[in-house]
């Protein structure tokens, strides 16, 4: 039987996100040579993971394949409610009280353990996101929203300059950067993308199917803080506005460093950060002044601004090759391992 691409990737690059052991396939259901469903087992720690409708979900046991805003998760633990809903439900004073109790070490939000990272609801949403008409509509939206973005175009040009073979797009979200990149560059041999959110991974699967690239790419669900890859693997890692969305983002910086080849590049497009926000507005809309947010975000290890991010990158071992302030919202970074 012809080897599936997932089997190839399992041998080459993938590893258990917990112990970095090798993963082997058990009980696979295939269509042609493509694995539709499977159980993946770590040969070292025996943890089991699953492939849900072609997407490997390599999260630690108990995690749900859905994104929470880092501020929300830090204060409330994992929840499907938005910050606006939580503010309405508890009132701003209670939200502030909780946040400051966490800061003083008097309280930590409850941990929720999910039996399955992907349930019927996520499977259903993922299913329609790969239908051709939805993919085409999404790609039109991406084109429309990115056509005047100088910073995104510049990020794509920088990535192409390195002529990378092995690419990882982390925190791939709806695939805005990824789509702009594959429009201009397809000379890679392996293209991986991951997001903690199953719906996002399915959206990217739809895009990669549309561009007929699924024979050398793998969209998946993974956690940037515990990446399911062997070390020293990628030529480049790209991250478009993802670091500011991760609770505990220093771990993600360390993981990016671990899985890059020596000499490999981390290419980032990011917001300047919360220190450029209007304090009156944040107090009114979020319940906290900018200074309070900075204190909380430092405590929770959430992205604060460009300057503190660069310090963390350097402390991790990266050499900063390029810092480019593009417009009043975004800047670009290129860092070398």
Ligand X SMILES: C[S@@+](CC[C@H](N)C(=O)[O-])C[C@H]1O[C@@H](n2cnc3c(N)ncnc32)[C@H](O)[C@@H]1O
**Would you tell me which residues interact with Zn ion (CB under 5 A)?**
16, 18-19, 21, 42, 44-45
Contact with ligand X (CB under 6 A) among 245, 257, 300, 334: 245
On whether the CB atoms of residues 79 and 241 are closer than 8 A, the answer is: no
On whether the CB atoms of residues 74 and 102 are closer than 8 A, the answer is: yes
Least separation in angstroms between CB 1 and ligand X: 33
Q: Which is nearer to Zn ion, 20 or 299 (CB)?
A: 20
On whether the CB atoms of residues 234 and 261 are closer than 8 A, the answer is: yes
How many residues sit close enough to ligand X to count as binding (CB under 6 A)?
20
Element (H, E) at 146: helix 132-146
- Kindly identify the residues of this chain, within the stretch 10-69, that bind ligand X according to CB under 6 A: 67
User: What dihedral angle (degrees, nearest 10) is formed by the CA atoms of 219, 204, 233, 317?
Assistant: -130
- With binding defined as CB under 6 A, does residue 195 bind ligand X? yes
Q: Which is nearer to ligand X, 4 or 135 (CB)?
A: 135
Distance of alpha carbon 206 from alpha carbon 219, whole angstroms = 10
Contact with ligand X (CB under 6 A) among 49, 64, 176, 192: 176
Least separation in angstroms between CB 225 and ligand X: 5
Contact with ligand X (CB under 6 A) among 42, 86, 241, 334: 241
Q: Which is nearer to ligand X, 23 or 237 (CB)?
A: 237
Q: Which is nearer to Zn ion, 42 or 74 (CB)?
A: 42
The token pair that represents 106 in the structure block = 């008097």
Q: Taking Cα atoms as reference points, which of 292, 337, 293, 296 lies closest to residue 314?
A: 337
- With binding defined as CB under 6 A, does residue 205 bind ligand X? no
* Residue carrying the six token digits 């506005």: 241
Angle between helices 120-129 and 198-210 (to 10 degrees): 20
Contact residues toward ligand X (CB under 6 A) are: 67, 171-177, 195-197, 200, 223-225, 240-242, 245-246
């Amino acid at each position: 039987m012809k080897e599936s691409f997932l089997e190839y990737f399992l041998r080459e690059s993938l590893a258990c996100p917990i112990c970095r052991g090798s993963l082997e396939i058990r009980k696979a259901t295939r269509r042609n040579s493509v694995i539709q469903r499977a159980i993946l087992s770590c040969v070292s720690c025996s943890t089991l993971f699953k492939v849900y409708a072609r997407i490997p979900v390599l999260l630690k046991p108990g995690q749900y394949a859905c994104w929470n805003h880092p501020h929300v998760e830090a204060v409330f633990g994992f929840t499907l409610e938005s910050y606006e809903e939580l503010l309405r439900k508890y009132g701003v004073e209670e939200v502030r009280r909780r946040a400051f109790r966490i800061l003083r070490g008097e309280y930590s939000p409850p941990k929720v353990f999910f039996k399955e990272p992907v349930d019927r609801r996520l499977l259903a949403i993922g299913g329609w996101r790969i239908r051709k008409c939805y993919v085409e509509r999404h790609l039109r939206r991406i084109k429309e929203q990115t056509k005047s973005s100088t910073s995104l175009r510049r990020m794509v040009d920088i990535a192409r300059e390195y002529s990378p073979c092995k690419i990882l797009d982390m925190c791939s979200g709806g695939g805005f950067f990824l789509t702009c990149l594959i429009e201009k560059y397809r000379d890679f041999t392996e293209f991986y993308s991951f997001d903690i959110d199953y719906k996002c991974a399915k959206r990217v699967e739809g895009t990669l199917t549309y561009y007929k690239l699924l024979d050398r790419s793998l969209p998946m669900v993974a956690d940037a803080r515990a990446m399911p890859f062997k070390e020293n693997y990628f030529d480049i890692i790209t991250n478009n506005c993802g670091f500011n969305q991760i609770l505990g983002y220093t771990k993600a910086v360390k993981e990016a460093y671990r899985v890059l080849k020596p000499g490999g590049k981390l290419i980032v497009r990011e917001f300047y950060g919360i220190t450029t926000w209007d304090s009156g507005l944040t107090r009114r809309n979020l319940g906290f002044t900018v200074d309070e947010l900075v204190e909380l975000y430092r405590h929770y290890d959430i992205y604060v601004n460009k300057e503190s991010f660069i310090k963390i990158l350097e402390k991790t071992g990266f050499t900063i090759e390029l810092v480019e302030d593009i417009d009043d919202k975004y800047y670009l970074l290129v860092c070398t391992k």
